[in-house]
Each structure stands twice: as structure tokens, then as C-alpha cells.
């Protein structure tokens, strides 16, 4: 499925305003990210048709679901989309199979893209099909809700903070299944979240919202690598790097390689060549003008300074680096920046203290 998603909405009520004009990719996961009250859920509800906005426009490729200039508005139940909210809202009088069948029956036979057994296997709920929904954990309930939405033959899947109501254990349980949706299905997903690590792990495209306006929109790595957005991410400022397992070392470390070099992480059990997505926080990167041979930090890569910017931490600056075409951020003190004479174009070495694996 290859098309663009166009979304233009304006909302003005009480003390809240939303004014967005977006062109989004018609494949992969697009995350709407921002603090509470930034307009994420309102934007998603407008996409679903649950909230009709003045001057609104929403289209998937050539299929227009809303165009107020032409007085066109397709109601939610006539749109080929699936919606998953924080609360699964399953039917308590139906089994897991019954809930999934409800979604399947709503889709015309000719438009059905998945069979119930296929979706149950994809989301790991085969063994739950005959179970009452009242006996499910929070993570299981959300997986059933996603399955029901997929069986509705959607052209677009909207997810409004589906993990927000779950504890850490349940989040870790469901995240691999969300990754499977990403890797195995061609349906575009709009994913609302205020959790930076969720976004870093799942998203391909990132839309940053603040007070109802779009602050940034673009490929995940590009937006995370910007230094003019520190307030949006705060202490979570950092980048995502796509790496592959290159070797399993004898001292319980695994070496990952990416275009800018290699990094070591605790031993992994996946085979050589497996791709892994890594998150590197700016707070975990230090800088040196020459390679440090007597250091406990194993991960060091050659880098070039691109720019410097402010942070929300007093006495610190954010340094944007280029590592063979990959962006990297370092948060260091202003004193260190002055002592090292950090400036654009300077070649140095970035030492990475910690690497968070996101897959």
C-alpha cells in the first residue's frame, strides 16, 4: 500500500485550539507525540471522523473521507478504519472469538484482508479464543481489541495510547506484537503516545505536537536528531540507530555494527545479521578530542560536530554530531564545550556510556 495521508483540521473551543496541516506516509507507523493537552487525541479523533472539524480535510490517497470545502463528510462507521483506544472496550458477554467475529462480520466479504486464525496467530491469542474476556489480563485485552480492529478490514489503523493503562510488565508483553504488525502488515498505523521510548521503538515517522500546533514532522531519526526541540523530549533527548548483530563475543557481549562503526551491548541470543533498533540518550554521550584508551567506556565512534543548541538543563548544551551520516546527540556542560572548543566542523570521538535496545 503506497499513498499519502493528508490531514488538515482546525478546532477552536474554550481554551483549546488545534490547527494542523499534515502530509503523512501511507505505510509504516506514524507517531503523534506530545505532552498532555497538545492535541494528539483530538487530531486522531478527527481522523476517525469522531469529531467533525471546520475547514477539515482528510484523505488516504485519492479516497477522501472529509472535505468541508465540498461539504463531504464520511461518517466513522462508513470509513475503512480500525480504532484502538486506551480501554479495550470488549463485549463482556462474548468470548474472545466472539469479539473478533464481531469485527470480521462488519467487513464486507469481498473487502476482508485477513482470516480470524491468521490474526489470532499474529497477535498470539490462539489459546484464548474460547476464553471469556472477563478472564483476560490487560495486555491480552488490548491484543484482542487490536485483532477485532484488524478483522474489520481497515485501510488505516488508529491507536490512541493503547499501552497507557498497562503496567510495565504488560507493556513489555504487548510491544513485540505491535512490532509484528509493523513488520508483517502493510496497513498504515497512526499511533498516539506521550512515552518517548514507545515512540522510539515503534515509529517510522514522528509528528511532534505542542499546544495544538505541529512543531515538527518527519522521519523518526531526523526529528529525534534535531537540537531545536530539547524541551519536547527533556531528559529523554536522544537518537535511534539501526544496527545489526555482527558478533557474539566470548565475554558475554554482543557487537552491533552500523554505518558509523560498532557498539557493544550485553549478550543477545539472536543470530548474526539480526537487525536491532537502539536508543542512545544525549545524557549518555561524552566527547573527547582524542581516542580514550584507558577508559571503562567501550563504545567510542568517530564523529563530526554539526551544531550546538540549548537544553532545558541549566549549564548544559546539546551538541549535534554526524557519525557517517547518522545523527547523534551529546549533552555536555557549557564549561566542557568551552574547554574542548566545541564548534561546527570539529572532528572528535563520541563515547557512548549506555545503549538502550528497543527490539
Q: At 269, which CATH number?
A: 2.40.50.100
Find the CATH number of the domain harbouring 166. Answer: 3.40.50.300
Q: Which residues constitute the domain of residue 53?
A: 4-231
Residue 39, phi then psi, degrees to nearest 5: 110, 10
Split into its structural domains, the chain has a count of 2
Residues 152 and 279 in one domain: no
Reduce the DSSP state of residue 220 to 3 states and report it.
Answer: helix
Residues 122 and 257 in one domain: no
Contacts of 314 (CB under 8 A, 6+ apart): none
pLDDT in tens, the chain (359 residues): 468 999 999 998 888 899 999 999 999 999 999 988 899 999 999 999 999 998 899 999 999 999 999 999 999 989 989 999 988 889 899 999 999 988 777 766 666 677 888 889 999 999 999 999 999 999 999 999 999 998 888 899 999 999 988 888 888 888 988 988 888 888 999 999 988 889 999 999 999 999 999 999 999 999 999 988 856 677 888 999 999 999 999 899 999 999 999 999 999 989 999 999 999 999 999 999 998 888 888 899 999 999 999 888 889 999 999 999 999 999 999 999 999 999 999 999 999 998 887 76
Residues 12 and 128 in one domain: yes
The reported pLDDT for the residue numbered 264 is 92
- List beta partners, residue 243: 276
Residues 225 and 253 in one domain: no
C-alpha span between 307 and 80 (Å, rounded): 44
Residues 297 and 227 in one domain: no
Residues 88 and 131 in one domain: yes
C-alpha span between 264 and 225 (Å, rounded): 22
The reported pLDDT for the residue numbered 351 is 95
Of 231, 253, 286, the residue that ends a domain is: 231
The reported pLDDT for the residue numbered 185 is 84
Residues 247 and 338 in one domain: yes
Residues 46 and 170 in one domain: yes
Of 231, 261, 283, the residue that ends a domain is: 231
Residues 223 and 273 in one domain: no
Of 170, 205, 231, the residue that ends a domain is: 231
Residues 262 and 215 in one domain: no
- List beta partners, residue 285: 352
The reported pLDDT for the residue numbered 234 is 77
Residues 308 and 160 in one domain: no
Residues 322 and 208 in one domain: no
Amino acid at each position: 500500500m503506497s499513498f499519502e495521508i493528508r490531514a488538515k483540521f482546525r478546532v477552536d473551543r474554550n481554551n483549546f485550539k488545534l490547527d494542523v496541516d499534515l502530509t503523512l506516509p501511507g505505510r509504516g507507523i506514524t507517531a503523534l507525540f506530545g505532552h498532555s493537552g497538545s492535541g494528539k487525541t483530538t487530531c486522531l479523533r478527527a481522523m476517525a471522523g469522531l469529531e467533525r472539524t471546520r475547514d477539515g480535510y482528510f484523505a488516504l490517497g485519492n479516497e477522501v473521507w472529509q472535505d468541508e470545502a465540498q461539504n463531504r463528510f464520511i461518517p466513522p462507521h462508513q470509513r475503512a478504519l480500525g480504532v484502538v483506544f486506551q480501554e479495550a472496550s470488549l463485549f463482556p458477554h462474548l468470548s474472545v472469538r466472539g469479539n473478533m467475529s464481531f469485527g470480521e462480520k462488519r467487513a464486507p466479504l469481498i473487502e476482508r484482508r485477513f482470516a480470524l486464525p491468521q490474526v489470532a496467530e499474529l497477535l498470539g491469542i490462539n489459546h484464548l479464543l474460547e476464553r471469556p474476556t472477563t478472564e483476560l489480563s490487560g495486555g491480552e485485552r488490548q491484543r484482542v481489541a487490536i485483532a477485532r480492529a484488524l478483522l474489520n478490514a481497515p485501510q488505516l489503523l488508529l491507536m490512541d495510547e493503547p499501552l497507557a493503562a498497562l503496567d510495565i510488565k504488560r507493556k513489555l508483553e504487548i510491544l513485540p506484537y505491535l512490532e509484528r504488525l509493523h513488520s508483517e502488515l502493510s496497513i498504515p498505523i497512526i499511533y498516539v503516545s506521550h512515552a518517548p521510548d514507545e515512540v522510539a521503538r515503534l515509529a517510522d515517522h514522528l509528528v511532534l505536537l505542542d499546544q495544538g500546533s505541529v512543531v515538527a514532522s518527519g522521519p523518526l531519526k531526523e526529528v529525534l536528531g534535531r537540537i531545536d526541540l530539547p524541551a519536547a523530549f527533556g531528559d529523554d533527548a536522544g537518537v535511534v540507530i539501526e544496527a545489526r548483530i555482527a558478533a557474539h563475543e566470548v565475554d558475554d557481549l554482543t557487537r552491533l555494527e552500523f554505518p558509523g562503526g560498532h557498539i557493544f551491548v550485553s549478550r543477545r541470543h539472536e543470530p548474526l545479521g539480526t537487525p536491532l533498533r537502539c536508543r542512545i540518550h544525549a545524557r549518555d554521550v561524552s566527547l573527547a578530542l582524542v581516542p580514550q584508551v584507558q577508559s571503562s567506556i567501550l563504545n567510542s565512534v568517530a564523529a563530526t560536530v554539526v551544531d550546538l543548541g540549548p537544553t532545558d538543563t541549566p549549564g548544559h548544551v546539546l551538541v549535534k554530531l554526524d557519525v557517517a551520516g547518522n545523527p547523534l546527540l551529546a549533552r555536555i556542560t557549557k564549561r566542557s564545550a568551552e574547554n574542548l572548543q566545541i564548534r561546527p566542523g570539529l572532528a572528535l570521538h563520541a563515547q557512548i556510556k549506555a545503549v538502550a535496545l528497543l527490539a
